[in-house]
Structure formats: C-alpha cells, structure tokens
C-alpha cells in the first residue's frame, strides 16, 4: 500500500467513506436492472450515472453523468458539464464527462494516461471519488447476465445519484426475502448433512447429521400417529455412484433433529470431487397398510491432506464453530478457533517500513484473527506481495489467523486465480473474504457465487465469507456465495430517522442513516442476527454460521456516527451477538480507542478459550430472555449450563434480577466474567441490581 492512499484507511476514513455510499443505497438498497428504470429516479429528483456503450468502446472512454435539469430539486450545473446528444439521453440533458484512466498525468509522461481503467471495480471507485456538485453517489446497477471482468461494448454501467434535499419518498426497494408458503398440514422434513464442511484422509471417521423435523414449510406429507407413541424412521445412507452403504438399519425418531451417525471414512477415498450421498427412510404406520418412504441427498467432501505448511479449516454444520489443523498443532487432529479480531488499518498494522510492533500489540491484546483491509488505490487493488509475506510470516509465528480480504478482487477472475493460488498454503489462513457489503454496493446478484465457485475450485480447504449491509435485500442470492455470513449493523451515535449527511428522512424505503432499518439501539445488533436466522429458516439448505461486525469507530469526522462506542457498549454488543448465536466477532476498525481495544481483547479471550468456547461450540444458544434491555441466553453441554447476560440499559437498577433456568440446577455456580454476586436460588439465577451496560457469563451445574 502506498503512503498516499493509506491515509484513506487511517482512523476509519475508508469505512466512513464507504458507508456514506453503501448504506441504504438508491432508495434504501434498491436495485434496478435496466436503463428504463431511470425514469422513476429522475422523476423523484434522482440523477443517473451511465458508463455508455459507445464511450466504453472508444479509444478514450468517458463517464457520462445525466443530471435532472428541471424541477424543485434543480441544482446549479457545474462548469464542467456539457450537454449529451438528444438521441442518446433525451433532449438537452446535461452530462458530466470524466476520463476513465487510473492516472491521468503519470510522472515522466505529462498528458499521457498510464493505464486504461476498464475493470468494473476500478470504474466504480473512480466514479465514487468524483461526486457532482450537490449530488452524492447512491449506488450502482449492473446487468447480471452479461457482466464480465472487462465491460463489453454492449454493456452499460449505471449509478444513481441523489440530490441533498429535505424530502422523503416511498418506493418499494424490492429484494425482500420471500418466505415459503405455510402448509396447513404437518410435513416430515428429512435432511442429511455432513457434520463438517470438509473431512481429510487422515480423519478416520465421518459423521452425518440426520434431521427428521416436523415442518409446515418444507418436507413431505406423512401419516402421523395418534397413539402418543414415538414414530420411528428406519434409515439407510448410501453413496450414490458406487451404492456403498455408509449407514444402515439405524432408527431416527420423527420430530427429532441433530441425530449423529458415524461411518468408516475409508469407504470414501480422498479426492477433490465431492461425493453425493442419499438417505432413504421408511415409516411403517399402524394406520396405513403401506410403508411410507422418504429420501434426501447431500454432498460430502473428503479431501487429501493439505500440503504443508497449509492449514485446513472446517465448519461444524451442527453448531457453527470453526476447527483448524495447521502448524500450531503439527497437523495432529483439529482444534477449535472462536475468531475474535478486527478489520485492521493496513497502514497501521502492516506499515511500508516493515515493523512488527503494532501487529504484536494487536495479538497481545488478546485477539486471534485479523482482516487487513486491502488498499483500493493500488494498481492491483491488493496487497504488496513481498511486504505481506513478511507480515504473514510473523502472523504464522503468532498463530494469528488471517481472514484474507478480496473485496476489490472478487469480481475479477484473474485476480482471484492469482491471489488464491499465492496465499492458499499459508498456515494461518483462516478463510477468504469476498463481498464487502455486496448488497449495499448492489453488485450483480450472482457475483458472490461466481467468485465462490472459482475459489473453491482452487482451494477447497478454507471457508468463504462475506458481510451484508442491508437488513433485507436479496439475502438468498448474495449468500449463495458464502459459507459464513457476517452482519454489520452499526447503531451507536446515529440519527435513525433523519440523515444528517443527506438531509433526507430515513425509513424502510428511503434514506441513508448509516444503519439500514435500525432504530439506533444496541439491540439493532441481535435484531439483525435474528433477521438472518429467520431467512435461513426460510431456505431449504443447511444453516450457515453468522458472525457479527461490531461498531468500534465514530466521532468527529464520521458521517453518521457521532461518537465512538464506549468499551462498555462494545462489550454489550459482543455479548448480545454471542447470545444470538454469532460464532465469530470482528470489529471495524483497528485501532479504536485504547479502552475499546482492550475490552475487545479481554472479553474476546474469554470467548475463545475454555471453558466458554466448549459451550459456544458444543451447543446452539437457547434464548431465555430477549427483546427487552435484558438479554439472556443459555448453552447446555453435558451436566452444565452456561448463561450469557447482556444489559443494554444505560441506567443502573437496584431491583433484584431473577433469571429462570432451563434445567434444575445446583446452588454451585462459577462466574466466568462480570459481577461475582450471581447465585442460584430456588431454581433461578439471581442478583441484587444490575449495573448500566452490564455483561456476565456464569456456568452452573445441572442436577443429575
């Protein structure tokens, strides 16, 4: 990263800039797909930016920005605006011409462009850095079907601009999640899923998850019993091509989930092509003379051991945790990793003048993962290879896991090929990160899936992740390209109803207040995680782990966020996320304030070490109290319960707090984090009073 462009990343500038253009874009995450959709925007006072077919095909391509010339929202037309031909954009429509070059005046060759900027992401970055007077970029629209690395002549690229006007509009942005129709009759929803996202040839045992849930959305009709006796399915699992039997003559109770069945992994020799498995189940009902039959399919990856020093990372499809095999454990089995870290300012943690000081401090705070934000200003919009190799060697020594960020590269096949091939064998590579708010940027709906498939073809040993910005905008489409889904609701210090940046109202169909459809409460974080959980329940595919990106920035110079969250606010957001089943945490952006950095590391260390990680990865969170200012969840593992407590109230209380426990518990409890006065009394967890923004973690023994 060059010094001139690193400044964009310092002290959250990059994120604030991106948030100013990526939250609630184009009428609140609205996506339009054809040029004919300009009309309603223009009618509402919006402007449209176009990369025209003819200009892109010329030797000197240009940006062309139409601007609405009339109406109450009329702005003064800048002097560098000319008029487009009537045949192309309509009669007398003013446009702004900007050359599409990365560097218009390179050193040594005045007046000669250094490199023609034709790549999609480069075009967008160029446009966003050059706003029209009185207007600001709101988003980008591209044709999904014919989009490619370099824009073909027949392709147009469209961006929408909004004037800074104090008005509100109500246009349905579209893209809302469509929940499946509800059946009036119960259905048997039989599913088969491998326990882990990958297995290695060194693993001796494979494990399958069988669910036989009763559903009103997915599944097949079945004859339910009336005797009150459990109904049993007899199952068999086979590999489709060879007909090898992996599991046979096993019973599964109807209405049960999370049934685990082991098989000898040697039945499936290691290879890079997944195996296709089928489960067949029969139910003999006393009320029906004929057997009822059911089936489901899945794929399973059994891979050759990775070439050292490469790591392998697998996802637990039952509880969502990550397990790693790398040099740290000498590739001997798997160990759990609960990732806690930051998106980090590259100019700070990986400065040009190589120094490990800040990177070591980062690790010593108690953080175990990092996403070094790439510098979009570099010619390849990536990291300088030789420099990153030195820093990554240090991360290997520290066992600091790198979430490799490809936000500027994931829509370029050549860059994906180069970067994944270059870094896939690092021992602390945790996973790949592709779309940074692809919904907010309104990238093509299939862009994340295209990147996902290419990455997996090169490196099947690591997960692929992305973060979503919008509360409800083409969730199913974008997440097809991810194994892990982040949310990044940033609620602290915002005005949730009026955009101070755009002088517009913010509602479900319009406006940008920095947090899509938020209310400006710490509870926006768990609410967003719950939104994602509901979408996942509405899809007939296995659940994907969710992570939370915590707001750890703000203050003077920030476009929406008036203050940096306090350490206490960050702790509450972290605990709320964990209570709502987040399996990883990442803050934007490092460095934050010293108290916030330290709090993130201290609480993160609690989450990422025993005994807490054993509960987080050994069960899914069970909601005890939710929706109010006191949020409580429980994890039951073996003969113990772990209770997570988050108080989002900014006022302390002296009233007694009583939390009902899901199991009968002994009076013995151990406070892992927070106030030590919690105790079990009368089957409840009780304490006198709650401090403002209090967080607690308590482990309790269950009565056998």
CB 485 within 8 A of CB 466: yes
Residue 24 lies in a domain: no
Q: Which residue has the tokens 């606010």?
A: 569
Per-residue pLDDT tens digits for 67-96: 333 333 333 333 333 333 333 333 333 333
Q: Is 453's pLDDT higher than 50?
A: yes
Average pLDDT over residues 454-474: 98
CB 582 within 8 A of CB 644: no
Q: Give the integer Cα–Cα distance in Å for 98 and 359.
A: 40
Strands (E), 45-86: 47-51, 62-64, 81-83
Q: Which residue has the tokens 């003819």?
A: 54
Q: Is 3's pLDDT higher than 70?
A: no
CA 9 vs CA 5, 106, 359, 601: distances in Å: 8, 23, 16, 22
Instruction: Give pLDDT, residue 364.
Output: 98
Per-residue pLDDT tens digits for 545-569: 999 999 999 999 888 999 999 999 9
Instruction: Give pLDDT, residue 440.
Output: 87
CB 673 within 8 A of CB 603: yes
Which residues, 6 or more positions from 145, have their beta carbon under 8 angstroms from its beta carbon? none
Residue 175 lies in a domain: no
Count how many domains the chain has. Answer: 4
Per-residue pLDDT tens digits for 583-630: 999 999 999 999 999 999 999 999 999 999 999 999 999 999 877 899
Instruction: Give pLDDT, residue 374.
Output: 87
Per mean pLDDT, which range of 232-246, 273-287, 644-658 is the poorest? 273-287
Q: Give the integer Cα–Cα distance in Å for 17 and 333.
A: 43
Per-residue pLDDT tens digits for 39-60: 333 333 333 343 333 333 333 3
Instruction: Give pLDDT, residue 134.
Output: 35
Give the DSSP H or E segment for 4: helix 3-6
Residue 655 lies in a domain: yes
Considering the domain architecture, whether residues 469 and 545 belong to the same structural domain is answered as: yes
Residue 334 lies in a domain: yes
Q: Is 172's pLDDT higher than 50?
A: yes
Considering the domain architecture, whether residues 292 and 433 belong to the same structural domain is answered as: no
Per-residue pLDDT tens digits for 299-329: 999 999 999 999 999 999 999 999 999 999 9
Q: How confident is the model at residue 574 (pLDDT cuts 50, 70, 90)?
A: very high
Considering the domain architecture, whether residues 657 and 556 belong to the same structural domain is answered as: no
Considering the domain architecture, whether residues 393 and 506 belong to the same structural domain is answered as: yes
Instruction: Give pLDDT, residue 255.
Output: 96
Instruction: Give pLDDT, residue 50.
Output: 38
Per-residue pLDDT tens digits for 362-378: 999 999 999 999 875 55
Average pLDDT over residues 191-220: 98
Per-residue pLDDT tens digits for 639-652: 999 999 999 999 99
Q: Is 356's pLDDT higher than 50?
A: yes
Which residues, 6 or more positions from 259, have their beta carbon under 8 angstroms from its beta carbon? 209, 210, 211, 212, 252
Considering the domain architecture, whether residues 387 and 495 belong to the same structural domain is answered as: yes
Residues of the chain with pLDDT > 90: what percent?
66
Residue 27 lies in a domain: no
Instruction: Give pLDDT, residue 286.
Output: 61
Q: Give the integer Cα–Cα distance in Å for 504 and 257.
A: 48
Q: How confident is the model at residue 442 (pLDDT cuts 50, 70, 90)?
A: confident
> What average pLDDT is seen over the chain?
80
Residue 340 lies in a domain: yes
Instruction: Give pLDDT, residue 287.
Output: 59
Considering the domain architecture, whether residues 133 and 50 belong to the same structural domain is answered as: yes
The last residue of a domain, from among 141, 163, 185: 163
Considering the domain architecture, whether residues 267 and 333 belong to the same structural domain is answered as: no
When mean pLDDT is compared over 44-48, 98-102, 246-250, the highest value belongs to 246-250
Residue 296 lies in a domain: yes
Instruction: Give pLDDT, residue 12.
Output: 26
Instruction: Give pLDDT, residue 76.
Output: 36
The last residue of a domain, from among 589, 620, 651: 620
Considering the domain architecture, whether residues 465 and 344 belong to the same structural domain is answered as: yes
Instruction: Give pLDDT, residue 168.
Output: 40
Residue 428 lies in a domain: yes
The last residue of a domain, from among 285, 303, 321: 303
Query: What is the three-class DSSP state of 287?
Result: coil
Q: Is 33's pLDDT higher than 50?
A: no
Per mean pLDDT, which range of 127-141, 216-230, 325-339, 426-440 is the poorest? 127-141
Strand order from edge to edge, sheet including 322-325: 312-315, 322-325, 335-337
Residue 698 sits in a domain whose CATH number is: 2.60.40.1180
Considering the domain architecture, whether residues 533 and 607 belong to the same structural domain is answered as: yes
Closest by alpha carbon to 531, among 604, 585, 479, 589? 479
For 365-505, where are the alpha helices, taking DSSP H only? 385-398, 413-423, 438-441, 447-458, 475-479
Instruction: Give pLDDT, residue 284.
Output: 73
Q: Give the integer Cα–Cα distance in Å for 188 and 217.
A: 10
Q: Which residue has the tokens 């002290």?
A: 11
Closest by alpha carbon to 51, among 93, 105, 92, 89? 89
Q: Which two tokens stand for residue 466?
A: 């992305």
Instruction: Give pLDDT, residue 123.
Output: 41
Residue 212 sits in a domain whose CATH number is: 2.60.40
Considering the domain architecture, whether residues 268 and 119 belong to the same structural domain is answered as: no
Considering the domain architecture, whether residues 611 and 653 belong to the same structural domain is answered as: no
The range of the structural domain enclosing residue 603 comes to 312-620
CB 618 within 8 A of CB 637: yes
Considering the domain architecture, whether residues 250 and 103 belong to the same structural domain is answered as: no
Angle at 463 between CA 458 and CA 467, to 5 degrees: 115
Give the DSSP H or E segment for 126: helix 120-128
Instruction: Give pLDDT, residue 424.
Output: 98
């Amino acid at each position: 990263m060059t010094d001139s462009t690193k400044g964009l990343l310092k002290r959250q500038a990059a994120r604030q800039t991106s948030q100013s253009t990526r939250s609630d874009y184009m009428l609140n995450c609205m996506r339009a797909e054809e040029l004919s959709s300009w009309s309603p925007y223009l009618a509402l006072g919006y402007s449209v930016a176009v990369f025209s077919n003819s200009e892109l095909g010329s030797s000197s391509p240009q940006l062309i920005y139409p601007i609405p010339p009339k109406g109450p929202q009329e702005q003064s037309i800048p002097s560098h605006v000319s008029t487009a031909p009537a045949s192309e954009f309509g009669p007398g429509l003013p446009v702004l011409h900007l050359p599409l070059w990365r560097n218009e005046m390179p050193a040594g060759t005045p007046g000669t462009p250094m490199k023609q900027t034709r790549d999609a992401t480069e075009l967008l970055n160029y446009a966003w850095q050059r706003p029209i007077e009185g207007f600001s970029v709101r988003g980008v629209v591209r044709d999904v079907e014919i989009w490619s690395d370099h824009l073909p002549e027949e392709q147009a690229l469209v961006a929408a601009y909004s004037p800074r006007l104090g008005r509100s509009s109500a246009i349905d942005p579209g893209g809302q999640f469509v929940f499946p129709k509800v059946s009036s009759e119960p259905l048997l929803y039989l599913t088969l899923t491998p326990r882990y996202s990958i297995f290695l040839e060194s693993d001796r045992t494979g494990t399958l998850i069988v669910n036989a849930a009763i559903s009103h959305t997915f599944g097949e009709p079945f004859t339910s019993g009336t005797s009150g006796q459990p109904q049993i399915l007899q199952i068999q699992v086979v590999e489709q091509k060879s007909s090898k039997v992996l599991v046979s003559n096993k019973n599964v109770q109807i209405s049960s989930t999370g049934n685990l069945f082991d098989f000898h992994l040697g039945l499936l020799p290691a290879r890079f092509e997944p195996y296709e498995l089928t489960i067949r189940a029969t139910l003999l009902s006393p009320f029906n003379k004929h057997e009822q039959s059911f089936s489901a399919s899945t794929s399973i990856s059994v891979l050759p051991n990775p070439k050292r020093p490469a790591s392998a990372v697998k996802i637990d499809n039952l509880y969502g945790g990550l397990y790693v095999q790398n040099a740290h454990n000498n590739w001997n089995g798997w160990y759990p990793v609960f990732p806690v870290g930051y998106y980090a300012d590259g100019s700070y943690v990986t400065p040009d003048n190589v120094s490990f000081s800040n990177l070591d401090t980062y690790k010593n705070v108690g953080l175990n993962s990092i996403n070094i934000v790439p510098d979009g200003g570099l010619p390849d919009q990536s990291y300088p290879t030789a420099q990153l190799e030195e820093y990554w060697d240090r991360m290997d020594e520290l066992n600091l896991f790198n979430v490799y960020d490809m936000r500027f590269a994931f829509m370029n096949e050549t860059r994906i090929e180069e970067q994944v091939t270059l870094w896939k064998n690092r021992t602390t590579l945790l996973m790949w990160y592709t779309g940074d708010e692809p919904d907010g940027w309104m990238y093509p709906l299939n862009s994340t899936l295209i990147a996902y498939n290419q990455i997996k073809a090169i490196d099947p040993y690591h997960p692929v992740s992305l973060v979503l910005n919008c509360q409800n905008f083409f969730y199913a489409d974008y997440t097809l390209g991810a194994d892990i889904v982040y949310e990044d609701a940033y609620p602290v210090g915002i005005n949730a109803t009026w955009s101070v940046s755009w002088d517009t109202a913010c509602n479900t169909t319009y406006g940008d207040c920095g947090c899509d459809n938020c209310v400006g409460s710490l509870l926006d974080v768990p609410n967003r995680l719950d939104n994602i959980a509901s979408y996942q329940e509405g899809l007939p595919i296995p659940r994907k782990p969710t992570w939370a990106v915590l707001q750890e920035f703000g203050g003077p110079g920030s476009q929406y966020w008036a203050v940096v969250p306090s350490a206490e606010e960050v702790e509450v957001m972290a605990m709320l996320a964990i209570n709502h089943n987040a399996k990883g945490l990442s803050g934007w952006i490092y460095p934050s304030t010293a108290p916030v950095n330290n709090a993130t590391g201290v609480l993160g260390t609690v989450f990422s070490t025993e005994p807490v990680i054993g509960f987080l990865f050994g069960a899914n969170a069970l909601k005890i109290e939710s929706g109010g200012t006191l949020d409580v969840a429980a994890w039951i593992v073996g003969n113990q319960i772990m209770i997570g407590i988050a108080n989002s109230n900014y006022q302390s209380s002296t009233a007694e707090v009583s939390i009902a426990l899901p199991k009968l518990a002994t009076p013995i409890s151990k406070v892992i984090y927070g106030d030590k006065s919690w105790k079990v009394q009368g089957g409840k967890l009780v304490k006198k009073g709650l401090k403002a923004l209090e967080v607690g973690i308590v482990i309790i023994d269950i009565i056998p």
